[in-house]
Amino acid sequence: MIVEARGVGKVYDTRGVETVALADADLALEAGDFAALAGPSGSGKTTFLNLLGALDAPTTGRIEIGGVDLSALSPAALSDLRMNELGFVFQAYNLIPVFSARENVEFVMELQGVPAPERKRRALEGLAEVGLGGLEDKRPLEMSGGQQQRVAVARAIVGRPKMVLADEPTANLDSETAARLLELMAGLNRDHGITFLFSTHDPAVMEVARRLVRLRDGRVVGDERKTAT
C-alpha cells in the first residue's frame, strides 16, 4: 500500500467550539490508483486529502505512507517525506509569480538537491509532457489558468513522487480546459504508473476516476472501484 488510513478523525477547536471535520475514516490506496475523494462542500474531502498528504495531523487514528507511521516522524522527517514521496496540485496553483514556468517546475527539485543541469533537463521534459513546450520562460501572470495548472502538474511529477494529491484541480477551469487536464493526468497515471488522489465535487472528475471514495458530513459513505471497460 502507498497510503493506509485507519480510524482517522479531525476535530478543529475554534475559541472553545469544536467542529468535527472528519470522523473514523478508513482508506487504503494502492500503487497506480486513480482515485477521487468525492462529496459536496463541507463533506471533509479536503481535510482528508491534507491528512493523507501529511500537510496536517489527525486528531485520532493512524496514517501510514509506505508503511511508515506519520505520527512517529519529526517535523523535519515529515517535510522530507512530503518533498520526496508526494507531489501536490493545489486549487489556487500556488506558483511563484516572479519565477518562470521552468523555474517553478525546478523549485522542488532544487529543494531535493538535484544538480542544476539535471533540474533544467527534467523541468523542460516535464513542461513538454504537459503540453507547454516552448513556454518555459513565461511567468504565471502571462499564462492562462489552464496553463498555470499544467505548470503545477509538471512541478508535481518531476520530483518523481510515488503519489500526486490534487485538491479540486478543475475548480477554476472551464469545462474544455478541465477535460484536457484530466486527460493529461490520466495519461500520466497510465503511462508512468503515478498514483493520483483528487478531492472534488466535479462530476467530470468523478467520471474519469477509476475509484470513488464518497464522503458526507465528515464520514466515508462509499468506496467504489470501477471495473475496466
User: Which pLDDT value is given to residue 56?
Assistant: 94
pLDDT in tens, 61-105: 999 998 999 999 999 999 999 998 999 998 888 999 999 999 999
| Per-chain mean pLDDT for the chain | 92
131: number of Cβ within 10 Å: 16
Q: Which residues pair with 64 in a beta bridge?
A: 4, 69
The structural domains of the chain, with segments of one domain joined by +, span 32-54+75-224
CA distances from 46 to 22, 157, 180 (A): 10, 20, 23
User: Which pLDDT value is given to residue 10?
Assistant: 97
User: Which pLDDT value is given to residue 90?
Assistant: 87
CATH number of the domain located at residue range(s) 32-54+75-224 in this protein: 3.40.50.300
User: Which pLDDT value is given to residue 135?
Assistant: 95
User: Which pLDDT value is given to residue 212?
Assistant: 95
User: Which pLDDT value is given to residue 180?
Assistant: 86
Residues in the chain with pLDDT values less than 50: none
